[in-house]
Structure 1
């Protein structure tokens, strides 16, 4: 990568400072207006694509930081090692002598922008963005759920408090009513005793007045006879008063209240109004995932001229099938074959042994693995395509 994209690299090598107007990715350098013209007609560079420096500066940092020369030997990359998945220069090639997948990098990069690797990356990026949106939506919904739950719990707490307050107010009112009734009842009893005593006191006071009158105005005989009558009356009154004094009527009446122990224990035993609990329930999000990643988003070595290929026999498999019309590779090295006459497909393990077969599915012509544990089977008679789930063996 050129050290300064704003200056023309060619002019800079000539010790001349000119501002670049375009950038050539193939040459990895900026060009001024004059060098741009020469670059566009030169035999070696006329097919190179260029674009403005303004567009170049807007490219992502990841792309601008990609080195097109070997960081160790400072030479251009000439080869690509598929075994180690890395580019190599001529000097790097010495350390990859034993690697069978060492290929001319120019063969690999042909039509790379329209390759399956780019398509896979674009698909994955779209899926990642969609999955981020799904996760964001999920979290936003959870935030809204928490807000609604908080409001609901607040209402429950207030209702519980109101219910407790109402119940306490009711039983307090009942107790106050009972207190008033008991006080009134006991006070009435005492008032009755007081009324009776007041009446007795009035009668005795009248007798005292009568005694004074007798002393002053009655004859001795009258006084004697009156005294005898009064003695009997007083004896009865004294007996009545003594009876009242000895009865429970004059007991000191008191009232008290024993507060329910459960209420007394509220402040001691109930230290919290309630408890807030947090739970986390599993939730399966519909995360999208690329169905078939067998290529693992890597640059594949381009197909070479068939005349230069040397074939090596790896394995022989006896399918015991007649009239095999199609076959396809499955994950983990398995293989599937379609048989037209026997109306079946047969799956073999990587070691060549039989895994399973599905019979009576019609005159099958071809079979292909389509990813996500499924294979597609075409029929010669019905002109239809059947999808078979490999794990369940169901269509």
Structure 2
């Protein structure tokens, strides 16, 4: 973003005066007020310097304003360009840091016609294409968000519909068994209530006979007593026979009501561990963006050194504990904090080592064969699980698998661009 800070004349400000600047010298890299710019423009040493108005200077992005033409280490003007390190250098830099760099060129040759070069136009086109691609991708993702929102809504409706269907069916089954219970209870109760009524009538009759028998023994004549005893004996015998018949039959059987819940119904609470599964099915993207140039690697400056000029050197050795000698290392990862993560295929595990090469701990073990691993971001490492058709994300600080990605094919390799 361009700067909007008010600029003061550098020369006047050094003298404690705050005069507003009107121009900026691109070579002196200082601001001038109107009185100070006149001698600067007339001096033999600076009259050919290029200047720009403060208004135009403030249109320059802040990070560009911070780029200086002078070496911060030696306070001397950049005059050379090191192709090996791809950086500008002052004369003293060549003896301090670039003694072994042979491909040094005049900086003026590198910067010649840089603004009118084809690369600038190509980059301008690239910026436009990238912006359009971002806009297209954002629109695409917003559409995808709307789509999955609708999918979530439909999934909720399906879950609730299924829940209601099950509830309605269970209500129907419940009402059926309650009706059956009511019918059988009523049948049993009616039978016993009827029998109780009959027996109560006989009991009342026997009570009356007992009372009459008592009075008869007190006041009846012998003849009346003789005939009365025979009648009472007959009634008593009939009642006794009635009770015996009831007892020998099934009238006194204990009919108990009992409910037996369907085993299929009970299994719902025992066997149904979830309402269902929510899966994320991954398919190829339908997003279409503009293809970038195949020559994106073109630079405004000459290429750096070839692989034949790169001189590798020994840096670090990892110390494997005695009980871990038989490691089958399929991948080694260097984390941002310089710790090391090793993927051991033999025991299907991730191991962490300190930046000094000392073993710290086992991060996690896998049930499937791990074939490759790479750093993703923060504390996250991705591991390819081959024939399990999965890539998993592992939090190497929390020692846990935090996400799984399913594939319709084997996953023997994994890489990340962030």
TM-score (ref. length: structure 1) = 0.57
Of 157-166 and 43-52, deviating more is 43-52
Q: Residue 78 in 1 paired to residue 79 in 2?
A: yes
Question: Residues 102 and 229 of structure 1: is their aligned pair in 2 closer, same or farther, counting only changes over 3 Å?
Answer: closer
**Hey, what does 1:336 align to over in structure 2?**
none
Q: Distance in 1 between matches of 2:17 and 2:239?
A: 146
Q: How does 1:37-76 map to 2 (within 5 A)?
A: 37-40=38-41, 48-76=49-77
CA distance 1:248–1:76, shift in 2 (3 Å): same
Q: What is the DSSP-based 3-state SS (H/G/I as helix, E as strand, rest coil) of the residue aligned with 1:107?
A: helix
Which residue of the other structure, out of 189, 192, 197, is the alignment partner of 2:191? 189
**What are the equivalent positions in structure 2 for 1:380-395 lying under 5 Å apart?**
none
Equivalence for 1:105: 107
Give yes or no for contact 2:8–2:33 (8 Å, CA) kept in 1.
Answer: no
Aligned-partner Cα distance in 2 for 1:79–1:231: 144
The farther-off stretch of 76-85 and 173-182 is 76-85
Residues 83 and 99 in structure 1, CA contact (< 8 A), matched pair in contact too: yes
- Provide the aligned C-alpha RMSD in A: 4.5
Residue range with higher mean Cα deviation, 140-149 or 23-32: 140-149
Number of the residue aligned with 1:28: 29
Mapped to 1, the partners of 2:242 and 2:16 lie a distance apart of 143
| Native 8 Å contact 1:117 1:299 kept in 2 | no
Picking from 252, 256, 276, the partner of 2:258 is: 256
Match of residue 116, structure 2, among 114, 131, 142: 114
In structure 1, C-alpha distance between the alignment counterparts of 2:251 and 2:297, rounded to whole Å: 109
Instruction: Give the C-alpha shift of residue 81 in structure 1.
Output: 3.7
**Alignment length, in residue pairs?**
295
> Against the structure 1 CA distance between its residues 233 and 84, is the aligned structure 2 distance closer, same or farther, given a 3 Å change threshold?
closer
Distance in 2 separating the partners of 1:24 and 1:264:
88
Kept after mapping to 2: 8 A contact 1:80/1:87: yes
1:224 and 1:204 map into 2 onto residues whose CA distance is 19
CA distance in 2, matches of 1:197, 1:16: 127
Residue deviations 1:271-307, cap 9 Å, x none? Answer: x553664637264454545313265222369xxxxxx
Determine the C-alpha separation between the residues in 2 that align with 1:33 and 1:177. Answer: 104
Q: Secondary structure at the match of 1:112?
A: coil
User: Residues 195-225 of structure 1: CA distance to partner in whole angstroms, max 9, x if unpaired?
Assistant: 5446656877898899989x989995x9878
- Alpha carbons 2:70, 2:76 under 8 Å: kept: yes
- Give the superposition deviation at 1:248: 1.3
1:107/1:45 Cα in 2 relative to 1: closer, same or farther (>3 Å)?
Answer: farther
| Cα separation, 1, equivalents of 2:121 and 2:103 | 23
Larger Rg computed on CA atoms: 1
Task: Provide the C-alpha distance between the structure 1 equivalents of 2:133 and 2:85, rounded to a whole number of angstroms.
Answer: 31
Could you give the per-residue CA deviations for residues 124-169 of structure 1, whole angstroms, max 9, x where no partner exists? 3334433433443454344434433433333233223322322222
Which of 173, 176, 192 aligns to 2:175? It is 173
TM (norm. structure 2) is 0.54
- Whether 1:140 aligns to 2:107 is no
Alignment correspondent of 1:88: 89
Using the TM superposition, give the Cα deviation of residue 69 of structure 1 relative to its aligned residue in structure 2, in angstroms: 1.8
Kept after mapping to 1: 8 A contact 2:10/2:30: yes
Once residues 86 and 169 of structure 1 are traced to their aligned partners in structure 2, the CA distance between those partners, rounded to angstroms, is: 80
Distance 1:224 1:31, change over 3 A: closer
In 2, Cα distance between equivalents of 1:199 and 1:34: 136
TM-superposed deviation, 1:5: 5.8
**Aligned partners of 1:248, 1:35: CA distance in 2, in Å?**
129
Inter-partner Cα distance in structure 1 for 2:18 and 2:226: 160
What is the Cα deviation at residue 257 of structure 1?
2.3
Closer/same/farther in 2, CA of residues 75 and 242 from structure 1, 3 Å limit: closer
Question: Which range moved further: 72-81 or 11-20?
Answer: 11-20
- 1: CA distance between counterparts of 2:16 and 2:193? 128
Change in 2 beyond 3 A, CA 1:277/1:244: closer
Q: Is the 8 A contact 1:6 1:53 kept in 2?
A: no
Match of 2:160? 158
| Corresponding position of 1:327 | none
Q: CA deviation at 1:17?
A: 7.5
| 1:125 corresponds to 2:134 | no
CA distance in 2, matches of 1:45, 1:224: 163
Secondary structure of 1:249's aligned partner: coil
Quick one: structure 1 residues 19 and 179, their matched pair in 2 at CA, closer, same or farther if it must change by over 3 Å? Answer: closer
Q: CA deviation at 1:247?
A: 1.6
Q: Give deviations 1:326-365, integer Å, cap 9, x for gaps.
A: xxxxxxxxxxxxxxxxxxxxxxxxxxxxxxxxxxxxxxxx
